[in-house]
Amino acid sequence: MDASGFSQAKQDQTRRLSNSVLRRTLVNVVVFAVVYLALFLGFMNTLGSSLSNLAYNLVGQSYWMHTAIANLFLVCVAVGFIVGIVLVVRSGINRALRYFDLLLDSVTDVLAKSEGPVVLPSELAPTALFLNGIKAEGERSERAAKAAEERKNELVVYLAHDIKTPLTSIIGYLTLLEESPDLPVDVRARYTGITLAKAYRLEELLDEFFEITRYNLQTIPIERSRFDGALFVSQVIEEFYPLAEGRSLSLVFDGPDELPVFADAGRVARVLNNVLKNAVAYADAGTEVRVRTGLVVAPDGFVWWELTVTDRGRELSPEHLERIFEKFFRADAARGSDGGGAGLGLAIAREIARAHGGDIYATSDAGLTSFTVWIPQGPSVGK
């Protein structure tokens, strides 16, 4: 529940509780007063005269003494009435205090993670609803944390296995090179190339492993500055040319010659790197990966920096699109040792975009998959 919802629930609960306690107290006071006065009047009508005559005779028919006893009797009746009212009001206060005891017990149950919903009297219904909401949210968060931890442990196992594979190959080829110094030059060169490729793959896996161990989406600092977005995107694309050529892919830049933007260049570079890496890895060989960028003005006049990476390859299902930005999520096809990451790249990309105040979205239709990043700029940028 957000701050406004909590404030509204608090006001509703205070109003209901105060009205309930006040209403019950007033009813009890009225009932006591009516019963007390009815008993007094009934006593006076039935026994009043007899007792008055008896008292008159007991004091020797002294008018002064009889009047003093009558006044004392009336004072005792008034004091009894006042004491009764005080006791009734005190009972109402004690009832209100018992509500606080119930609230404390309920909060204790929530903190102790006891089973079952919080049950409170009808006067505390808003609080019961609020506490049950907190309890449900806590249970959901706990399940999500447990699932993430299980997924994280599972991926550590995958990475440990994947790390062992290239490491075994590296050791094997280096052993051959050491034990066979008379190998032909072309064979030695081929073995060296394979060893280097396996070493690069091992480096990638180690980077992913360390990414998992230090991963914390809540501590991504953003430090904005002004720079040329077009030049920035071109430089990021250039880093992927060797990888794209290896898969016969064409990298296409679609944007203006200059594009003044305001963002954290290092963080956005990581976003674009992660998205481009995903596109290059899963695009069909011989196709193109297009990167489009520009400023988009919303109907309210606010300016957004748009970055869109589009590739043609395997179509992503709606279920896959819903989970693709989750931590540690990887498609089954990405588990092979020759490709696929730890399932952090797109999750980190989303958190960086959101840390800027923007977001990232994915669409896939007929094999054409696009990832679009939106970074807020403000109405004055680019004007």
Dihedrals phi, psi of 305, to nearest 5 degrees:
-90, 120
pLDDT value, residue 293 = 95
What pLDDT does residue 106 have? 76
**In the prediction, which pLDDT does 372 show?**
94
Tokens of 53: 């005559």
Interval 73-122: pLDDT, tens: 888 888 988 998 888 888 877 777 777 777 777 777 777 777 777 777 76
Given this model, what pLDDT does residue 359 score? 93
Tell me the pLDDT tens digit for each residue of 227-248: 999 999 999 998 888 788 888 9
Query: pLDDT, tens digit, for every residue of 332-369?
Result: 443 233 444 445 678 778 888 988 999 999 998 888 99
Burial of 330 (0-12, 13-18, 19+ CB in 10 A): buried
Q: Which domains, from first to last, does the chain contain?
A: 3-114 (no CATH), 148-213 (1.10.287.130), 221-376 (3.30.565.10)
What is the sign, positive or negative, of the torsion defined by CA atoms of 72, 78, 81, 82?
Answer: negative
**Side-chain-facing half-sphere of 316: CA atoms under 13 Å:** 24
The predicted structure's pLDDT at residue 340: 47
- Cβ within 8 Å of residue 166, ≥6 positions away: 198, 199, 201, 202, 205, 337
Measured at the alpha carbon of residue 372, what is the angle toward residues 369 and 144, in degrees to the nearest 5?
90
Residue-level pLDDT at 382? 44
pTM: 0.50
Please give the backbone phi and psi of residue 314, each rounded to the nearest 5 degrees, phi first: -65, 135
pLDDT at 176: 84
Task: Identify whether the C-beta of residue 167 lies closer than 8 Å to the C-beta of residue 195.
Answer: no
Instruction: For the beta carbon of residue 350, count every other beta carbon within 10 angstroms.
Output: 24
Distance of CA 162 to the CA centre of its chain: 33
Q: What is the DSSP letter of 204?
A: H
- Pairing of β 260-263 and β 250-254: unpaired
Q: Which pLDDT does position 291 carry in this prediction?
A: 95
pLDDT < 70: residue spans in the chain: 1-10, 13-14, 17, 122-125, 151-152, 154-162, 165, 208-220, 327-344, 380-383
DSSP conformational letter for 317 = P
Contact between residue 369 and residue 321 where contact means Cβ atoms under 8 Å apart: no
Largest CA distance in the chain: 146
- Per the structure block, which two tokens stand in for 223? 């430090």
Kind and range of the H or E element at 86?
helix 63-111
Residue 168 pLDDT: 80
- Measure CA 260 to chain center: 34
* Average pLDDT value over all residues in the chain: 79
